[in-house]
Amino acid sequence: MGLERYLDLLSQTCRSIYIFARSNNIPFEFKHVELFKESVLGKKPAAGSGAEQPHAGPSSREGAGKVSLLKKVPALKDGDFTLEECTAILLYLSRKYNTPDHWYPADIQKRAQVDEYLSWHHANIRASAPKTMWIKVLIPLFTGQPLPSQKLQEVMEGLSSSLKQFEERFLQDKAFIVGSQISLADLVAIVELMQPVGVGCDIFEDRPRLRRWRRRVEDAVGKELFFQAHEMILNIKELSSMQIDPELKEQLAPVLMKMLK
Amino acid sequence: MGLELYLDLLSQPCRAVYIFARTNNIPFEFKRVDLRKGQHRTEEFQKVNMLMTVPALKEDSFTLAESIAILLYLARKFKTPDHWYPAELQKRARVDEYLSWQHTTIRMKAGTMLIHKMLLPVITGKPVPAEKMQSLTEELNVVLNQFEQKFLQDKPFIAGTEVSLADLLALEEIMQSLIVGHDPFEGRPKLAAWRKRVEGAVGQQLCQEAREVMLNPSNPSADQITPEMVELLKKKYLK
């Protein structure tokens, strides 16, 4: 079904892992997980095929744990070892596959700066950016009603404030967060910031410094890979015209509304 | 200039950093930052950390925020024993997993409870409504269940047989609700047993010392909280 497919790369955490793995030629098998259907209708996620290579599906970070309906599914499976949490997965892959130093520099001060960003990100950028998609597309899709513009404004204000700190404290006048080369910090930040772009809240528009940083990240990762990973989020409008099963709508609507409180 | 750690021991991540540094005999200068007095928002402190948060680290011209970053930095710089952040890939990943998950779960829920029960009443002059307290308690219970079922399971510690940074941070976060009289260990024998193990590994006396402020917070009075802080708290929590 269309919806499940779209949800794979709709997830920011999934995109960062996807881009990182592809960029480093890490053998990677995508398991499509039907986030909404399986949680609501109680189906189990597709069992791991026992592949020797690690594989990952989208995590269920949407809603940051507030929505109990989004069951945690194994985000990475490597033999018997399963791992969730985007940061943990990225670090695991970088170590297991000995990726180039710049992703997570050996120099302890630079490394600390990556850690610092990855930590701060959760309660700041990640707290507001994803909500734009929920407010503008997903919740109206499931409830059949648009949300009052005030809701979006609140979220954008929060996001603006985080972006200010991002520019002044983390990016400053450097090419990338930790200096002259891209790291996991930049990757995690960019996928999150593309979420509002996909739903028409272009946060790069009035922020030239941020825009230039984005271009550098795209180049560092490879424009083709970057846009491939973001194809779905940039065409999210297609999702708005999808037919959702009425039963699913009914079950999800109240939970989704609660999510926004 | 040596290592400076900017801390308010009322804060969970600050306690974790303090305990970690002390238990590993890492030499540092303790710089107190009183959150209730808004000292984290002063111009002086912003030079150390413009994010205006504690804990913060300063070493010559190098400054660092975020407890996870600080804990890892200290572990690497002072080459602390392996079990704190195991070199073994999968064990290390377990620690990373917890450290990532806690932000929006245990940290958030216990912290919110504190704000509502301790600080807001001072500002509004009214106690927290019983309904609100109940819903906060329920939310905390949900994440504590997740912690026990997913992170602890039947292991002595999160990463396996030895204490790690994950346990240290988790314990201080879970303890936080004690400040407002909510005992998270009540009715949770597994959690209580894990707590004993962590405190045993780190040292009971050190834990007590770190928690002196939090267990005797001396109920704040309105004049102890700066007007700026009052406005901020109102804006954030009283919508």
Task: Tell me the percentage of chain A whose pLDDT exceeds 90.
Answer: 42
> Is there a contact between A166 and A126 (Cβ–Cβ < 8 Å)?
no
Across A47-129, the runs of DSSP E, i.e. the strands, are: 55-56, 76-78, 81-83
Residue B18: per-residue pLDDT: 98
Under CATH, which architecture does the A3-44+51-101 domain have?
3-Layer(aba) Sandwich (3.40)
Choose the most confident range, by mean pLDDT, from A228-237, B73-82, B180-189, B224-233.
B73-82
The residue-averaged pLDDT of A178-189 equals 97
Phi, psi of A156 (to 5 degrees): -65, -35
- For the residues A86-111, what does the mean pLDDT come to? 96
CA B128 to chain centre: 23
Nearest to B73 among A88, A108, A122 (CB): A108
pLDDT higher than threshold 80 for residue A9: no
CB contact under 8 A, A112 and B64: yes
| CATH class of the region B3-82 | alpha beta
CATH 1.20.1050.10 boundaries in chain A: 103-260
Mean pLDDT, range B146-164, rounded to an integer: 96
pLDDT for res A8: 57
Closest by CA to A192, choosing from A21, A17, A15, is A15
- pLDDT tens digit sequence for B41-57: 999 999 999 999 999 99
Q: In the sheet that A55-56 helps form, which strands lie side by side, from edge to edge?
A: A29-30, A55-56, A76-78, A81-83
Chain A hits for B99, CB-CB cut-off 8 Å, are 87, 119
Mean pLDDT of A52-58: 41
- What are the extents of the domains in chain B? 3-82, 84-215
Q: Per-residue pLDDT averaged across B70-90, rounded?
A: 98
Q: What is the pLDDT of residue A14?
A: 83
What's residue B169's pLDDT?
A: 97
User: Where is average pLDDT lowest: A29-33, B163-167, B173-177?
Assistant: A29-33
Residue A103: what pLDDT? Answer: 98
What's the pLDDT score for residue A64?
A: 30
Q: With cut-offs at 50, 70 and 90, classify the pLDDT of residue A33.
A: low
Q: What SS3 class is residue A25?
A: coil
Query: Averaged over B153-161, what is the pLDDT?
Result: 96
Q: Residue A240: its pLDDT value, please?
A: 67
* DSSP calls for chain B: --EEEEE-TTSHHHHHHHHHHHHTT---EEEE--TTTTGGGSHHHHHH-TT--SSEEEETTEEEESHHHHHHHHHHHTT--GGGS-SSHHHHHHHHHHHHHGGGTHHHHHHHHHIIIIIHHHHHSSPPPHHHHHHHHHHHHHHHHHIIIIIITTSSBTTBSS--HHHHHHHHHHHGGGGGT--TTTT-HHHHHHHHHHHHHH-HHHHHHHHHHHHS-----GGGS-HHHHHHHHHHH--
**Pair of tokens at residue B93:** 């990943």
Chain A interface test: which of B92, B103, B144, B149 (most A C-beta within 10 Å): B103
Query: Which of A53-57, B88-92, B211-215 is most confident?
Result: B88-92
Select from B69, B89, B99 the Cβ nearest to the Cβ of A112: B69
Overall average pLDDT of the A21-38 stretch: 71
CA nearest A68 in B: which residue?
B142
A260 pLDDT more than 70: no
Tell which CATH architecture fits domain A103-260: Up-down Bundle (1.20)
Taking 50 as the threshold, does the pLDDT of residue A12 lie above it?
A: yes
Mean pLDDT over the full length of chain A: 78
pLDDT at B180: 86
Q: What is the reported pLDDT for B110?
A: 86
B82 in contact with chain A, both atoms CB, cutoff 8 A: no
Q: Which residues of A touch B105 (CB under 8 A)?
A: 65
pLDDT at A239: 67
CA distance A221 to chain B (A): 24
Contact state of A92 with B67 under an 8 Å Cβ cutoff: no
Contact B100 A116 (CB under 8 A): no
Interchain CB distance below 8 Å, A115 and B97: no
CATH code of the domain occupying B84-215: 1.20.1050.10
Q: How confident is the model at residue A165 (pLDDT cuts 50, 70, 90)?
A: very high
Higher pLDDT, A9 or B144: B144
The yes-or-no verdict on residue B140 having pLDDT over 80 is yes
Asked if A81's CB is within 8 angstroms of B65's CB, the reply is no
Place A47 in a pLDDT band, splitting at 50, 70 and 90.
very low
> CA of B222 to nearest chain A CA: how many angstroms apart?
28
Interchain contact A112–B (C-beta under 8 A): yes
Range scoring the smallest mean pLDDT among A9-18, A136-145, B222-231: B222-231
What chain B residue is nearest to A74 in terms of C-alpha separation? Answer: B150
Q: Does the CB of B51 have a partner CB in chain A at under 8 Å?
A: yes
Q: Which parts of A12-99 are beta strand (E)? A: 29-30, 55-56, 76-78, 81-83
pLDDT at A49: 27
**A248 compared with A163, residue with greater pLDDT:** A163
